[in-house]
Amino acid sequence: MAKRLTIEGDEAVAIAERLARHQGSTPSEVVTRLLREAEVRKLAEAPLNPGQQYDYDTLRALVKAAAHHKRPDATSDHSDPYDTNGLPT
């Protein structure tokens, strides 16, 4: 049997119901999605451990060093070999 979470408060319930109607889902799905998003944001704010910080700093240094070698006309646009329908020309 699924566990239950009771949300008390007219405002919270009304917001969840409005969002559910707008999204074509249920209040439960809305609350679950918002909780997942909040969890991801919170985890992203967590400080890095020393190994992660070292990796991050190393990658940032590599990106900074590589930026000096980028050609001024270089682009990540790869649309040239494709037509307007996305098919190879």
pLDDT tens per residue, range 65-76: 998 888 888 777
Placement of tokens 């990658």 in the chain: 59
Q: Where in the sequence is the domain holding 42, given as residue range(s)?
A: 10-67
Nearest-angstrom CA–CA distance, 33 and 66: 38
In 3D space, the residue among 5, 26, 27 whose CA is nearest the CA of residue 16 turns out to be 27
How does pLDDT run across 14-61, given as a tens digit for each residue?
999 999 999 999 999 999 999 999 999 998 888 999 999 999 999 999
Q: Is residue 56 situated within a structural domain?
A: yes
Q: Is residue 36 situated within a structural domain?
A: yes
Q: pTM (2 decimals)? A: 0.53
Q: Is residue 59 situated within a structural domain?
A: yes
3-state SS class at 71 = coil
Q: Is residue 76 situated within a structural domain?
A: no
